[in-house]
Structure 1
């Protein structure tokens, strides 16, 4: 491995507290699908016990491809490791070639009773084996492993990052926001990158369902929706290795919170705008190119009101007119009904007047001006 090359993120999720799921593991193998978005000849993986109240013991771990190219993962030269509560660690660098055109899986064997405390809700999937360590079966290219395991969806347990070390200059694009942007649209953005021969930029997912910029998750949800966007911005954006671009999406959850208070600064969107300004300033101080995103129509949301709509219009107009961003992805203008701009276009509406359908999700990727990735 060339010591002069740098680590760059190729897969990521934002860590949240998952204790509310009440999921537990004992003498089981977890198989996690990895959405690798940038190739490399060396990899390392970040394991997280950020929200754990007890040490996390990993007995053994591996990575393997859909073609069953297998490699063990080591920690300071050992198969097993113990991660202290509130801590995260990297695996040893591993010579293992990955590329964005192939599917990869991470295998983790948990021997002792372990509570799922740290991870992320995601569109990805994972599997749980029948009792025992099945990593040796993977090593022996047993193609029936997944079929004999219990399929589970929408969770990424215990890992937050996969980084690659490459011989050519590479960087990453971070997508930061809430569930409004954690809807799979960036898979279409990755396809646009590939079609337009933008092959040296990873796409990293730092969105959290239910997340808010201004406030952390309510106590009764035990951190499931994450700490506030402002408080996690340093960890999830500034401390990511190789980040050069940022897509910043304010989302609807702060608007909903604003409409539940009589505070004037919130009711007119001032605090949301100020939070976006802070993020923009921090990004620019770290030489990160930032793309601001407007908020799509939210008519049909059970919290919808004229007040909420006025805040959305105010925040969106500031995003369009602001000099705080290097570029703007105007999701609102692209997705709204021109006659009734508080509503989605029918072609993008899944029938519930609020949730964007697959056509709309794909259209969100078309809002991103790719010139910014080739000119900078």
Structure 2
């Protein structure tokens, strides 16, 4: 009976159910989970690939070093149990390959297999392997049976891999990984054991998610911020990216996930070791009322008109959530998007409040960093990726440079 009870406790620990967080663990990499749209008329880029007795290999870059790691895997939007037949992690190399000798088996409550219930998530047992900041890891999930994922992060910012049939989780070679995609399936976090480490979460929409940043190049502004911190000798801070392209502060979307307000606790405040959050959100709230409605799957619905006062009320609710948890919350001003005059007026009202209200613990002036001095409603040419809305790689570096380093030094000393 005692042995059975201990086994049950170990399994619960692997699942992360109802147990206190272990000291010393810090989120080192994160991607906010989204629901895969289920509409029959969804375009191909909004459809997850079928997994048919195959292995998913996903490449992640922890942003802080540690002496051990653990994986977080989510079936949040699944309607059936997710069966994983094997999970491994190793140092990534080349195209879908792993550095020989670095592959480690990942267990859950001592077991190499795990079943994640619909709506559930698991945290693996600790993997005793050193983690080097920003060195890529390959996480392999063997999925027996035929499954179409319902939980993903649509835009991974890099190429990931799907194997031919079978369990290839222990393959150091990438030869079996014949198929490519640019999504993250099920994997939503890597934690490391870092005694003095802590995390800042960058949360927002496509500008944070890195929609038009160069693929495979880690050029999103949170990536650039992580590099800037390390260059400044601030190497105990992990930068977690919780951006979702198309996301809004106040309204959900069938394609772009729950509103930031609804997901704020899960995707920011619940991250292990979080001490600060940087929020960049609101431009889609301003824009989507004027997007043309579409038959069938309408990613921009609801087409709700939002005022500056509506957004400010939403920001205040985020601030209250963060401060109730003892977490610093910083804002970034909304960047230029070549908006028509009425929408541009809302953006400027919001930015004036962000700069002058003192409601947030600090403000990074992303608008000032990117706006064209001669046409302040537009991005400066070198910061424009080409669509007038999303920054180029150079623009992302400008955003990272606009974040005050004092925020990280003050939080480290608290």
Cα pair distance change 1:49/1:41, threshold 3 Å? same
Matches within 5 A, 1:168-317: 168-183=195-210, 184-217=220-253, 221=254, 224-258=255-289, 267-299=306-338, 304-317=339-352
Structure 1 runs (4+) greater than 3 angstroms displaced = 257-261, 265-268
- Give the match for residue 14 of structure 1: 32
Q: Write out per-residue CA displacement over residues 24-51 of structure 1, whole angstroms, 9 at most, x where no aligned residue.
A: 1011111000121111112111111100
The residue aligned with 2:400 is 365
CA distance in 2, matches of 1:294, 1:77: 47
Q: Aligned pair 1:98/2:98, yes or no?
A: no
Distance 1:346 1:4 in 2: 47
Rate the CA distance shift 1:209–1:4 in 2: closer, same or farther, 3 A: closer
Q: Residues 259 and 267 of structure 1 are in contact (CA less than 8 Å); yes or no, is this contact kept in structure 2?
A: no
Q: Secondary structure at the match of 1:181?
A: helix
Q: Distance in 2 between matches of 1:127 and 1:191?
A: 26
Superposed CA deviations along residues 316-363 of structure 1, whole A, max 9, x for unmatched, are: 111111212222111111111122111111221234433322211111
Which of 107, 120, 124 matches 2:158? 124
Q: Determine the C-alpha separation between the residues in 1 that align with 2:191 and 2:378.
A: 40
| Cα deviation digits, residues 60-98 of structure 1 (max 9, x gap) | 000001333110000111111111111111111221211
Change (3 A) 1:80 1:147: same
CA RMSD of aligned residues (A): 1.9
Q: Secondary structure at 1:339's aligned position in 2?
A: coil
Checking the alignment, whether the CA contact within 8 Å between 1:31 and 1:127 is kept in structure 2 is: yes
1:136 aligns with 2:170: yes
- Alpha-carbon contact 1:124-1:156 (below 8 Å) kept: no
Q: Which structure shows the bigger proportion of residues in strand conformation?
A: 1
Query: What is the CA-CA distance between 1:258 and the residue it aligns to?
Result: 4.9
The TM-score with structure 2 as length reference comes to: 0.82
Runs of 5+ consecutive residues of structure 1 not aligned to the other structure: 139-144
Change (3 A) 1:103 1:134: same
Counterpart of 2:77 in structure 1 is: 51
Counterpart of 1:157? 185
Q: In structure 1, how many angstroms separate the alpha carbons of the residues matched to 2:60 and 2:22?
A: 27
Alignment coverage as a number of residue pairs: 355
Contact 1:267 1:307 (8 Å CA) reproduced: no
